[in-house]
Amino acid sequence: MSALNDLINLNLADTTDKIIAEYIWVGGSGIDLRSKARTLTGPVTDPAKLPKWNYDGSSTDQAPGHDSEVILYPQAVYKDPFRRGNNILVMCDAYTPAGEPIPTNKRFDAAKVFSHPDVVAEEPWYGIEQEYTLLQKDVHWPIGWPVGGFPGPQGPYYCGVGADKAFCRDIVDSHYKACLYAGINISGINGEVMPGQWEFQVGPSVGISAGDQIWVARYILERITEIAGVVLTFDPKPIKGDWNGAGAHTNYSTKSMRADGGFDVIKKAIEKLGLRHKQHISAYGEGNERRLTGRHETADINTFSWGVANRGASVRVGRDTEKEGKGYFEDRRPASNMDPYVVTSMIAETTILWKP
Amino acid sequence: MSLLSDLLNLNLSDTTEKIIAEYIWIGGSGMDLRSKARTLNGPVTDPAKLPKWNFDGSSTGQAPGEDSEVIIYPQAIFKDPFRRGNNILVMCDAYTPAGEPIPTNKRFDAAKIFSQPDVVAEEPWYGIEQEYTLLQKNVRWPLGWPVGGYPGPQGPYYCGVGADKALGRDIVNSHYKACLYAGINISGINGEVMPGQWEFQVGPAVGISAGDELWVSRYILERITELADVVLSFDPKPIQGDWNGAGAHTNYSTKSMRNEGGYEVIKAAIEKLGLKHKEHIAAYGEGNERRLTGRHETADINTFLWGVANRGASIRVGRDTEREGKGYFEDRRPASNMDPYVVTSMIADTTILWKP
């Protein structure tokens, strides 16, 4: 295989100024990632300088066959950890030829919320804890689990070490470095409570970039699991029974919350979230009712609750924030398959713009 | 898979100042190691400059769900042999949010003993001989043993060479180099009497650092066995019958013992240890009664006995020490699953501070 690797790892900068740009977009299901690559004549770091492109929307359930062109607008550029050199990954969103965002384009409305002057003034920061499960290819059973059976019960796996406790760490660790290389603000990783489940965190990111970074981090993760021959799932409750689900806890703060007296601003914001619990829940990911049961470190889907250091609540405030009287809070409701554009903008909208 | 290694081996210092710090702590059983990683803005070599962090104690048996945050305080830094570059491993101990050490935090009390002026003045040195057994995953039977049966009796395996005598040497040798890389004071390795069992030694290490270095070397070992898909066991008597157990013989000396006339100081210290035999044994590792039988190079658990060059004694003094009239002695009682913070500080406490 090493002749193939030699070619994959060719450093083109020696022979040409051309670069390769991988354009990434979200497909018709709202959780399937798609990408294709094109050659550009020289290095580019500013998305505004990248050409718009298009793809066959009839093949991703995003356009009818007789009018299939969907236009991609580049929105964010990252270094490509797979091709390296001056090659790039480009996060895009999708529009009709007439310039209207297509229905699955959730970034467009999020960007509108984030460009509202009141939201801009509050500089909303997000730290998203993305959980995910790795499955053995073909059988779609979690990695490390005996096929046809179950591993020992949860307990030893959270942050665990050892061949019988941590499975596929190479995927997690290569993802960590690849994201740092790409310029994604990945802040950490840990093994999760269910064996075969892991988490990475992205943030703090401001406004719309939280969504861009999570989507590209998910893309990089799926490219890595592809290399490893393992299947990635963002299903919020991959295995029924006494096994934790997978979430995307969203940590949030505004300028006012980070300043002195912020704890009161936080409490008011949490109150507003409580008044719109049903609306948020319906936008926080498909299948979340299988996960938010009130057990396994979740709050029941029909209940809104909050508490300091309480992992069984909908919203958790850290002890540090309580002690210092300012800081941030954690919305534990979003599922692992949530759309970060939707969740981040909705939290900003409810807490900053909405008047009850 | 080599595309994955390209990513795992990415040298991030080319693209960013950021580093990854793997925070390590001991879990609720007192023997399970846990770790998770976070991104820091630049290289750090002083633990005092690292931020405190926290983990979900309800997932490790160290806190209840409604009040789950446990705080980890960085205590010692080592270079990360897996991520290399400027990335680090950080040995931590655990506290409540109010700043009290949690019950499983044995380092806190050890540190108090090691900072007593009388103990500081005596500069206690430790050399710990960590034995361990490698097991085949899934069946949990020693590496190289036929499943459902036994290898030939003990004899050829101690320091042995050859495919039928030394099993798992790649794990042992990569561990040796990884520890040296990390900055751990690993002084040697050898194959042990029972096939599939090995030993490494850490020291001489002064005071509290003996415990820090031993715990991090255990962590590095379990990360390596994880890579090798082999299970690591610190059980003191993994196989019943005519098979050696696994210990953590602790070699010890103080300034007075290392100086002229030290041999008398050694004898006085051994006498004090004899008076507190039961208390020490109770803290020297779970399951030690299965190992300390009086056979297989151990002394019976209920007997305190010392002798020069006597491997069947509780305490052994080397012939060199006897001949030079100064040196150190070896406490052979601790089991392989002992907590080095407890054992090292208890030996110092009994021999330096305690007045019978």
Residues of chain B with pLDDT under 70: 1-2
User: Per residue, what are the HEC states of chain B?
Assistant: CHHHHHHHCCCHHHCCCCEEEEEEEECCCCCCEEEEEEEECCCCCCHHHCCCEEEEHHHCCCCCHHHCEEEEEEEEEEECCCCCCCCEEEEEEEECCCCCECCCCCHHHHHHHHCCHHHHHHCCEEEEEEEEEEEECCCCCECCCCCCCCCCCCCCCCCCCCCCCCCCHHHHHHHHHHHHHHCCCEEEEEECCCCCEEEEEEEEEECHHHHHHHHHHHHHHHHHHHHHCEEEECCCCCCCCCCCCCEEEEEEECHHHHCCCHHHHHHHHHHHHHHCHHHHHHHCCCCHHHCCCCCCCCCCCCCCCEEECCCCCCEEECHHHHHHCCCCEEECCCECCCCHHHHHHHHHHHHHHCCC
pLDDT at B2 (0 to 100): 66
Compute the count of residue pairs across chains A and B with CB atoms less than 8 Å apart: 132
Would you call B240 exposed, middle or buried from its count of C-beta atoms within 10 A (0-12, 13-18, 19+)? exposed
Mean pLDDT estimate for chain A: 96
pLDDT at A129 (0 to 100): 98
Mean pLDDT estimate for chain B: 96
Best A8, A171, A177 member to test B by mutation, with max B CBs in 10 Å, is A177
For the stretch A317-354, pLDDT in tens is: 988 899 999 999 999 999 999 999 999 999 999 999 99
The backbone region for A84, taken as left when phi is positive above 0, alpha when psi lies in -120 to 50, beta otherwise, is: left
Of B37, B65, B222, which is closest to A161 when you measure between CB atoms? B222
pLDDT at A292 (0 to 100): 94
Average pLDDT (A205-217) is: 98
For the stretch A91-119, pLDDT in tens is: 999 999 999 999 999 999 999 999 999 99
B60 to A159: CB separation less than 8 angstroms, yes or no: yes
pLDDT at A3 (0 to 100): 87
Q: Does B39 touch chain A (CB under 8 A)?
A: yes
For the stretch A223-234, pLDDT in tens is: 999 999 999 999
Please state the pTM of the whole predicted model. Answer: 0.94
pLDDT at B241 (0 to 100): 92
Residue type, A316: R
pLDDT at B65 (0 to 100): 78
Q: Closest residue of B to A199, CA-based? A: B36
For the stretch A138-194, pLDDT in tens is: 999 999 999 999 999 999 999 999 999 999 999 999 999 999 999 999 999 999 999
pLDDT at A1 (0 to 100): 64
8 A C-beta contact, residue A228 and residue A137 = no
Best B1, B2, B3, B225 member to test A by mutation, with max A CBs in 10 Å, is B3
Length of chain B: 356
Q: Is the pLDDT of residue A2 over 90?
A: no
